[in-house]
Chains A and B, each alone.
Chain A
Amino acid sequence: MSTKEKLIGHVMKEEPVGSRCKVTVVGVGMVGMASAISVLLKDLCDELALVDVMEDKLKGEAMDLQHGSLFLKTHKIVADKDYSVTANSKVVVVTAGARQQEGESRLNLVQRNVNIFKFIIPNIVKYSPNCILLVVSNPVDILTYVAWKLSGFPRHRVIGSGTNLDSARFRHIMGEKLHLHPSSCHGWIIGEHGDSSVPVWSGVNVAGVSLQGLNPQMGAEGDSENWKAVHKMVVDGAYEVIKLKGYTSWAIGMSVADLVESIMKNLHKVHPVSTLVQGMHGVKDEVFLSIPCVLGNSGLTDVIHMTLKPDEEKQLVNSAETLWGVQKELTL
């Protein structure tokens, strides 16, 4: 008898039940791994799968995480370049693709990342036909549209990480200005995750007190407190971090874990994430943009109808037109 047989007697007659809350992360670059470690440290899944094309890097990352198993509550961490390892995932986080170089805009990455998605998305769908897709790769709004088209999924199961991060950056800066924790500073950035994101100044509040009510100039050119600069710092945020350390990872990783948590725990929490906005706020084209959405274990089930000013709606429509201009040139 082996040591194991002497020690342990197996008493269950049936096949073991598979994982109930499996998360897959596609892409083991800096963003993928930051997402993975954040999901693991928040105890969100009972199985984590990693996929990538770079086999040694993939194996090394999986081993490094497995070596930390003692400190985690995720018993099964697997990795393979073959997508069969991703089977039966509840949520699949897609971080694969090219990233912005210093000074490069997200829109520039499009066609390269569309080609990568043409390989990835059908493979994900094959092995997890009921999963929720969370797209992170940039330009996220366009790639969420692409993932939706390539997957054939209903729109409530294809979510772009969108402006969840932009809003977090905004609330961080707002918190610094007001000496408050970001979670007590409410502000929503919607629209494109990128240069033309829209700060909804009318909604910015602390404890229900509208800041624009206290300072009607807020967000405008004449504002002596220059709140508009706060939004600019959000837009420039990623470029600045990329210039300093070469890429961004921690903030987006934590933002992804925040979204995965709402989905896995069926929280019905409202997040600004990228969804199909055709027919809303004057948007006519089939584009994905970030608006406040309700996330639960079925996915993105509801959207919040924000009351926007005419120029805020105009900005959304402009974003939509820019994105559609790029999307209609794509070969899918």
Chain B
Amino acid sequence: MASILQKLITPLFSGPPEPPRNKVTVVGVGQVGMACAISILLRELTDELALVDVMEDKLKGEMMDLQHGSLFLKTPKIVADKDYSVTANSRIVVVTAGVRQQEGESRLNLVQRNVNIFKHIIPQIVRYSPDCIIIVVSNPVDVLTYVTWKLSGLPQHRVIGSGTNLDSARFRFLMADKLGIHPSSFNGWILGEHGDTSVPVWSGTNVAGVNLQTLNPDIGTDNDDENWKETHQMVVNSAYEVIRLKGYTNWAIGLSVADLTESLMKNMNRIHPVSTMVQGMYGISDEVYLSLPCVLNSGGVASVVNMTLTEDEVAQLQASANTLWDIQKDLRDV
């Protein structure tokens, strides 16, 4: 007896189903991974979302919870498995797996533990999506982006660290809030390490093209009686503060990752401060990843913008690079 499906629908084309065109995989279904997933879904950036993790029940539960909302979404296929074959043909793979900072712990402390996890994850990702772009989110992101690049064998323009995209967003929020305007109307860049030694480029801060350092030459220094430097300090402390209050951070980083995903997926050539290989730039001789303003499109990091930095800002970048290289050189099995 013919089923409802057979009576209702007459197929016109039967062949193998089309592969996905804009598939995104999120590795790790902790708070950060799921915040990335929901942001990407609600921004309608992908036609297939794959989730991977080692915790099988949690993974299945998260997948089901998202699938139950599929009526409200434009992503028709949401899959999950601990086996990486589920990630095949991804255009973008977001890596959030690994241990996170405990209260008061610095990101750099997490390194060796996360390197060991990445040794398992990265080769599998590349095996099933050899043409993908990897966005590394796990901390310490700059070191782990370097590790990912090494473990994956991918060309450097296809391995991106979420870097200071979030620090810059926090900076723009805090600065704009003081000025009573929307963050998107405040232009300011934080570069370098996503962490304690990030570099606020005060010389570039502007609203409607009006340079703030020209209005206040002391901006960002200890002599500044308006103490704008404190705003950068708040950015550095932001994550620690949110972790102290709610145990972890997720929404802001999730939104930040969706922002990067959009530029990559839609081939936008938008500029974002993300972690990329900076050897040879600004007098940096080591093979380190740091955040610089990068043009992102569907190929990955198309180019890097040569910002005019003050001598002091260059020195800070070099100091970041040295801190990171100090850690990287001691890593085992990379």
Chain A residues contacting B170 (CB-CB under 8 Å) are 67
**Does B127 sit at the interface, judged by CB under 8 A?**
no
Chain B residues contacting A69 (CB-CB under 8 Å) are 169, 173, 176, 182-183
Interface residues of chain B: helix, strand, loop or mixed (majority): helix
A interface footprint on B16-58 (CB within 8 Å = 1, 0 otherwise): 0000000000000000001100110011000000000000011
Pair B71/A59 contact, Cβ less than 8 Å: no
Chain A residues contacting B69 (CB-CB under 8 Å) are 168, 172, 250-251, 253-255
Pair B169/A68 contact, Cβ less than 8 Å: yes
Q: How far is the CA of A175 from the CA of B73 in the complex (A)?
A: 13
Chain A residues contacting B169 (CB-CB under 8 Å) are 67-71
Q: Do A63 and B64 contact each other (CB < 8 Å), given the known contacts A7-B210, A68-B252, A258-B72?
A: no
Pair A241/B39 contact, Cβ less than 8 Å: no
Pair A71/B70 contact, Cβ less than 8 Å: no
Closest to B60 in A: A244
Interface residue tally of chain A, by bracket? 35 or more
Q: Choose from B183, B216, B245 the contact partner of A63 (Cβ within 8 Å).
A: B245
Closest to B239 in A: A67
Q: Find residues 255-275 in chain B having any chain A CB closer than 8 Å to their own CB.
A: 255-256, 258-259
Q: Choose from A34, A38, A56, A67 the contact partner of B246 (Cβ within 8 Å).
A: A56
**Does A320 sit at the interface, judged by CB under 8 A?**
no
* A224 → chain B closest CB, angstroms: 7
**Does A243 sit at the interface, judged by CB under 8 A?**
yes
Q: Do A64 and B250 contact each other (CB < 8 Å), given the known contacts A69-B173, A241-B64?
A: yes
Pair A255/B72 contact, Cβ less than 8 Å: yes
Pair B215/A3 contact, Cβ less than 8 Å: yes
Pair A61/B61 contact, Cβ less than 8 Å: no
Q: Choose from A60, A181, A254 the contact partner of B244 (Cβ within 8 Å).
A: A60
Count residues on chain B whose CB falls below 8 Å from chain A CBs: 67
Pair A214/B4 contact, Cβ less than 8 Å: yes
Pair A2/B226 contact, Cβ less than 8 Å: yes
Closest to A168 in B: B71
Q: Choose from A71, A168, A211 the contact partner of B68 (Cβ within 8 Å).
A: A168
Pair B179/A218 contact, Cβ less than 8 Å: no
Pair A59/B245 contact, Cβ less than 8 Å: yes
Q: Which of B70, B71, B172 has the most CB of A within 10 A?
A: B71
14 contacts between A and B (CB under 8 A): A33-B251, A38-B42, A61-B251, A63-B245, A64-B249, A64-B250, A67-B251, A206-B8, A214-B8, A225-B4, A245-B60, A245-B61, A254-B42, A254-B73
Q: A8-B181, A69-B176 are in contact. List 12 more A-B contacts (CB 8 A).
A: A3-B219, A8-B180, A59-B246, A60-B242, A60-B244, A64-B242, A67-B242, A75-B182, A169-B68, A181-B76, A215-B3, A250-B38
Which residues of chain B have a CB within 8 Å of any CB of chain A?
Answer: 1, 3-5, 7-9, 34-35, 38-39, 42-43, 57-58, 60-62, 64-73, 76, 166, 169-170, 172-173, 176, 178-184, 207, 210, 212, 215-216, 219, 226, 228, 238, 241-247, 249-252, 254-256, 258-259
